[in-house]
Amino acid sequence: MITTQIENRVLSICFDRADKKNAITNEMYLAAEKALLDSADNSDVRVVLFNGAGGDFTSGNDLVDFIKNPPKDDMPPVLRFLLALARYPKPVVAAVNGLAVGIGTTMLAHCDYVVAAENARFKLPFVDLGVCPEGGSSLLFPQVMGHSLAAELLMLADVFGSAKANQAGLLNEVVAADEVMPLAQKVASKLAAKAPNAIRTTKAMLKKSYLEQLEARITEEIHSFAALLNGPEAQEALTAFMEKRQPDFSNF
């Protein structure tokens, strides 16, 4: 589930499903979207802080949900969440401990300040699942980190650490695991104390030249993702996950 809390004008949104490494279900995407939409015009909230329960950020989209509840229409929950995040008008901070897989990594490119643990692990497993990148990463990653690193991370899909995520431009600070949340809270409080209209205008200006393009790409990616999810490569990858084995793409 998603748990939320407002304290000192900071809205914490926590991926709170530790027994499944905080894998995100459709229900959780909708709850997170609602938290973002509800807080956008709420003057009690000046900053959002994303974090995860139980020592991990998130293991990404719930793979069982992919099988049971694949995207059915043009506006599936994951797309609604991503668009709400991309359009969110106030600063977004992320506190990343442990695993940040799939959308757990791509959503960092939408955050304004990311604190990660030295031992955090990132992974963009899309191709290994027979699908394509999401979260606007096919647009944002080459811009932020250059084509070669974006291609490496998105095509090889290997696990990488905070040093590489930092080199890729996804992080602001790398600290010891137990310092992640305190530092993220400190940064969020600092941002929450600043002139709110000045901050909102600054964020709007920072994104003005590419937001429209980003929204279109996020939407296109999810539609391609959904189409691939119905295909044989994804079916093999998801079956392999359920059977706790490596996928075999040799026959495609």
In the complex, which residues of this chain contact ligand COA (CB under 6 A)? 20-21, 23, 59-64, 99, 101-102, 125, 129
- Smallest distance from ligand COA to CB 134, Å: 7
DSSP 168: T
Minimum CB distance to ligand COA smaller for 106 or for 185: 106
Complex with ligand COA: residue 207 or 223, whichever CB lies closer? 223
* CA neighbours closer than 13 Å in the CB half-sphere of residue 28: 20
C-alpha–C-alpha distance, residues 252 and 241, integer Å: 18
* Nearest to ligand COA of 11, 226 (CB atom): 226
Minimum CB distance to ligand COA, residue 211 (Å)? 24
Q: Residue with the closest Cβ to ligand COA?
A: 102
* Type of residue at 28: M
Write the single-letter amino acid at 64. V
Bridge partners for 49 per DSSP: 12, 93
**H/E run at residue 243:** none
Cβ 48 to ligand COA shortest distance, Å: 22
Joined tokens for residue 15: 């991926």
Q: Which residues of 104-117 are buried (b: 16+ CB within 10 A; e: fewer)?
A: bbbbbbbbbbbbbb
Closest separation between CB of residue 189 and ligand COA, Å?
31
CB of 233 to ligand COA, least distance (A): 14
- Comparing CB distances to ligand COA, the nearer of 89 and 161 is 161
13 - beta bridge partners?
A: 4, 50
Q: Which two tokens stand for residue 29?
A: 């995407």
Longest Cα separation, the chain: 58
23 vs 82 by CB, closer to ligand COA: 23
Shortest Å, Cβ 243 to ligand COA: 11
Identify which of residues 20 and 164 has a Cβ nearer to ligand COA in the complex.
20
Q: What are phi and psi of 175, to 5 degrees?
A: -135, 175
